[in-house]
Amino acid sequence: MLTRLGPLLTILILTGPVIFGLAGTVLPAFGFLPALGGMEFTLAHFRELFSEPAIFMSATLSLLAGLVTALVSLLAVMLFVAGFAGTRLFGRVQHLVSPLLSVPHAAAAFALAFLIAPSGMLARLVSPEITGWDRPPDLLIVNDPMGLSMMAGLVAKEIPFLLLMTLAALPQVQLHQTRMLTTSVGYGRVAGFLFGLWPAVYRQIRLPVFAVIAFASSLVDVAMILGPTRPAPLAARLLVWMNDPDLSMRYLASAGALLQLAVTALALLAWLGLERFGAALCRQAAMRGRRFRRDAMLRAGALAVMVLAAGVVFAGLGTLAVWSFAGLWQFPDALPSTFTLKSWMTTLPRILEPLQTTLLAGLLSTFIASILAILCLAHEDETGGRPGRGALTLLYLPLLVPQVAFIFGLQLFLIYAGVLATLPALVLAHLVFVMPYAYLALKDPWHAFDRRYDWLAAGLGKRRARRFFSVRLPMMARSILTMAAIGFAISVGLYLPTVLAGAGRLTTITSEAVALSSGGNGRVIGVYAFWQMLLPIAGFAVATLVPALIFRRFRGMQV
């Protein structure tokens, strides 16, 4: 049966690269790399790693980035949902924040950088009138040694992700009734939600939270744009070693990748501790019957963080757009004195190839992931089973293992297979990360589909393929295209898998943009960031407009 292939291939795609990739990092870390003559077990590479300057500082930065990012964004989302779920304002903020999800991490990081840098938009707006600056002050705001701006950039990106995951979990709890109940016995909005509903909601979003920790503790692109440099977070340093033309650096890089794995594992362990602490705190307050009725400040704070996260990124993206058309733009002018298309014209010739690669890798990986997701869900329908905890954890596997730890090892296999820097390798590397999101995005709409339509069509004598193409596919066109748009946006934003599978020869808009970050040329970065934004938006536009156009005659198909 065709649908059997769905779960089978999906599991293969989710686990294969992770397992082989990890093997490809673990073995060289202990000195085993036959291609380079490494045949003996040794700990020398770890000794070398630990004698690298400030390596523990790098590791600590990564650990803290993971924990702080997850904590801040989860608290913001939790308090916001607790304070506002079910209100009109909630819907508005949700619509404001959701589009952020499709903005690639690198673009969001650039947006923040060009907003808060000493020569950034904020400084320009208040200079020289308030600050008296007539040239950019010598302040280390971006790339600050504690990584605060890096964490801020991450928080702005993880908030929409966690919000969306929380929204998906909300229908499974009795929001309205529980709210009425807790309010009627005198609890404040936030406390009532936290005591009555949050445990059930949190259980649903635990894996996404873990994914945030794993991602933030091992991030590369945001760290390269916003992060500290002396020392840089661990994963960013690893990438430098991995790209070193001296192949013997692979040993060091592999040992470092294992350290990264340990750092992320430690961050997750620490989080488990935090979870217990938080739960105990909540339980105690609940058992004492603390009502926390005066929570207006708390709610306002959560709302402010949500709006700020969206506002900062959008304002920054706006700034970048202005930069891309800027002619002469002196500090502290708030706007360029001349506008020109020059940046667009000069970048055009070298942007075409990355653009083409971005589109191809994005469309192909999304197409494959969509088909597999559909096959998996169809298979669930047939067997009547829903994936259990184990299967769901498997789905999150590529998101829970730090990318640097396994993609680097996977690169080794790509080299052996002679496919490094080819489109199939790039598509595979992207597929590993697009697949989970494709499945997660389609799961709920698929299960919400009224299966009686399918039975009815079978009763009319239609075979399975016909039922799918004539009934299910058109009726679910919007959901399926939305899933594809999400997958495509994920693919467009991928940095590390692109750099490692493309080996610098096959580049995408995102990998090129991040490579430009050290140059700090606002005009060129503006053009690249603009493209990074434009592609996902185009995807979502197609997902909305195409079904609306095809089914414009049918009222029952409108949302």
- Options 38-46, 299-307, 377-385, 522-530: segment touching other proteins (CB under 8 A): 377-385
Q: Does 34 bind other proteins (CB under 8 A)?
A: no
- Closest contact distance (angstroms) between CB of 386 and other proteins is 11
Give backbone dihedrals phi and psi of 33, rounded to 5 degrees, phi first: -150, 85
- Residue 279: both structure tokens together: 């739960």
87, 248, 284, 470: residue in contact with other proteins (rule CB under 8 A): 470
DSSP letter, residue 326 = B
Asked if residue 474 binds other proteins (CB under 8 A), the reply is yes
**SS3 labels along 436-497:** HHHHHHHHHHHHHCCCHHHHHHHHCCCCHHHHHHHHHHHHCHHHHHHHHHHHHHHHHHCCHH
Task: Give me the residue label for tokens 């996260």.
Answer: 309
Q: How far is the CB of 438 from other proteins (least distance, A)?
A: 23
CB distance 337 to 328 below 8 Å: yes
Distance, CA of 292 to CA of 505 (rounded, Å)? 58
Burial class (CB in 10 A: 0-12, 13-18, 19+), 355: middle
- Rounded to an integer, what distance in angstroms lies between the CA atom of residue 58 and that of residue 259? 11
Look up residue 553 and give its amino acid: R
Minimal distance, residue 448 CB to other proteins, in Å: 15
Q: Does 471 bind other proteins (CB under 8 A)?
A: yes
Does 557 contact other proteins by CB under 8 A?
A: yes
Of residues 119 through 178, those in contact with other proteins by CB under 8 A are none
| Residue 41 or 554 having the CB closest to other proteins | 554
Range 385-404, binding other proteins (CB under 8 A): 385
CB of 472 to other proteins, least distance (A): 10
Chain centre to alpha carbon of residue 16: 21
Rounded Cα distance between 358 and 406, Å, is 22
Site string for other proteins, 511-540 (x = CB under 8 A): ------------------------------
33 contributes a contact to other proteins by CB under 8 A: no
Should residue 301 be labelled a site residue for other proteins when binding is judged by CB under 8 A?
Answer: no
Nearer to other proteins, 280 or 456 (CB): 456
Q: Which of 431, 457, 444, 447 is nearest to 371 (CA)?
A: 431
Specify the residue, 67 or 378, whose C-beta has the smaller distance to other proteins: 378
Cβ-based nearer residue to other proteins, 126 or 546: 546
Rounded to whole angstroms, the maximal C-alpha distance in the chain is 79
- Shortest CB 6 distance to other proteins, Å: 17
Among the listed residues 383, 393, 518, 521, the single contact to other proteins using CB under 8 A: 383
Q: Does residue 555 belong to the site contacting other proteins (CB under 8 A)?
A: yes
Residues that bind other proteins (CB under 8 A): 383-385, 450-453, 455-464, 467, 470-471, 474-475, 551, 553-557
